[in-house]
Amino acid sequence: MKSINARIITVSIPIVLGNLTQIILGIIDSAMVGSIDALLLAASSLVNNILAIPFIMGMGLSYAIAPMVASANGNGNYQRCMAIGFNGFFLCTIFALFVGIGIHAGSNIVFHLDQDIEVANASVDYLIIMGWSTVPMLMFLALKQFTDGLEYTRVAMTWALLSIPINTFLNWIFIFGKFGVPAYGLFGAGIGTLISRVIIFIALLTVILRSEKFLIYRQKLNRSLVISKKRIRNLLQIGIPSSIQYAMESGAFAVSGIMIGWFGATQQAAHQIAISVASLTFMVSMGLSAAGSILVGNAVGKKDLIHARTIGKNTLFMGLVYGVFCAVFFAITNAYIPLFFTGDIKVIEYAAALLIFAGIFQISDAIQAIDIGILRGLYDVKIPTIWVSIAYWVIGIPFGYYLAFYQGMESRGIWLGLVTGLSIVAITLTFRFFKVSRSKNVLVKA
């Protein structure tokens, strides 16, 4: 029997690596188009900010799958695992199609956000293709949550890692125009992303349907592959609050990015660099969060609340140690990291300053992410959603706006507001976990 810490690490590392690939792909896109023109880097930032909310909401919806599958797996109900996975996949697919259609129909939003007109013009086609690329990505994530919930976290990780060379090669072709293909620039990055996401979705689906590893879960498949109102309702009870939680956080960062765009393309490009790097380090925290959610859910399925509480405590401690490490790393390297993205001196100066703030919130960011995950494993999502909403939108964003526009701090003020919101979420949800993990009502919900 593995120790608790060893099990957390075993489950989390493949999730971390899988999550990191998506951020790495975004960084590769930014670096490749940034090598052409800083304006394209700013356009990439604008599109990422617009897509952040619907994409993160889809991710939040998919996050209901893993703890429910883990709980069913914990009590040995393998047919229920597949049924939950199928109904979760159905929900995510429907949501993804709405996102693709909605983004395409509303792509002119880039011209109504008070952005630099050249940035907006460069963004519109890229926004459309990236909107459609969210469809296969969210379908992939739904399947990933199913396999992760079974603690087969290496399966999705493998295909996520393979997407890096695939996407980079396709970017090289479509951005710069190779093998007779026109040089599409930023739009080419979108083409590469779309194709690579379709490939990894099809690959993971094939593994689930044909691999011996999942054979036990494919028993009575005809009974599992049925849309169930009850399962849909149960998934939505966790998925909707989870979606709102992540939308509140992602939306705060997205709106912050848009507000920073009001200070010009230079500060927006700097923000894109800082947020890309911070997102990269955050994927480790998200991996720990996902692992905590899965393992806590599994313990709840076994009716072992004491073990669930211990898993949560250990995961939080790991997050604290990791957050401190990241804070120190950012403080040491903030002047050098921007050099990987651009040679523009002004962008580098702004980005270096913002990376200091990114370093400050690494600790609270790690803690709040893990809190959300382990509370989800305890089926506690409604109250955390309220706290997240208040911390970001009642306190963090208004405070950042005040500092940016009334105290002259500009982009630095926006980031300080984000730090404040993250810290409040981390403190309140940690207290919430220690309270809920003592309640036996959790076992009734499982």
Output the pLDDT for position 371: 94
DSSP letter at 39 equals H
Least confident of 229-233, 392-396, 410-414: 410-414
Least confident of 178-182, 199-203, 310-314: 178-182
Q: Round the average pLDDT of the chain to a whole number and report it.
A: 87
pLDDT reading at 443 higher than 70: no
Distances (CA, A) of 225 to 68, 89, 95, 427: 16, 10, 19, 41
pLDDT reading at 444 higher than 60: no
Tokens of 223: 């009974």
pLDDT reading at 411 higher than 70: yes
Assign 440 to helix, strand or coil: coil
Residues in Cβ contact with 370 at an 8 Å cutoff, skipping those fewer than 6 apart:
285, 288, 289, 292, 315, 316, 318, 319
Output the pLDDT for position 1: 46
Tokens of 123: 């963004």
More confident site: 276 or 88: 88
Least confident of 194-208, 223-237, 267-281, 380-394: 267-281
pLDDT band at 257 (very low <50, low <70, confident <90, very high): confident
pLDDT reading at 161 higher than 80: yes
Dist. CA 326–CA 316, nearest whole Å: 15
CA dihedral 68, 8, 378, 220 (to 10 degrees): 20
Domain boundaries, the chain: 4-439
Least confident of 20-24, 207-211, 408-412, 438-442: 438-442
Residues in Cβ contact with 270 at an 8 Å cutoff, skipping those fewer than 6 apart:
338, 347, 348, 349, 350, 351, 353, 354, 411
Question: For the segment 109-149, what is each residue's pLDDT rounded down to a tens digit?
Answer: 888 877 778 888 888 899 999 999 999 999 999 999 999 99
Contact 118, 64 (CB under 8 A): no
Question: For the segment 318-357, what is each residue's pLDDT rounded down to a tens digit?
Answer: 999 999 999 999 989 988 888 888 778 888 888 888 898 8
Scored b (16 or more CB within 10 A) or e, 234-254 reads bbbbbbbbbbbbbbbbbbbbb
Tokens of 70: 């883990």
pTM: 0.80
Phi, psi of 409 (to 5 degrees): -85, -15
Of 96-100, 247-251, 359-363, 387-391, give the range with the top mean pLDDT.
96-100
More confident site: 17 or 114: 17
Beta carbons within 10 angstroms of residue 134's beta carbon: 24
Overall average pLDDT of the 208-219 stretch: 90
- Closest among 86, 19, 442 to 235, alpha carbons compared: 86
Scored b (16 or more CB within 10 A) or e, 355-368 reads bbbbbbbbbbbbbb
pLDDT band at 2 (very low <50, low <70, confident <90, very high): low
pLDDT reading at 196 higher than 90: yes
pLDDT reading at 87 higher than 90: yes
Question: For the segment 24-34, what is each residue's pLDDT rounded down to a tens digit?
Answer: 777 777 778 77
Question: For the segment 284-307, what is each residue's pLDDT rounded down to a tens digit?
Answer: 898 899 899 999 988 888 888 888
Question: Which amino acid is it at 340?
Answer: F
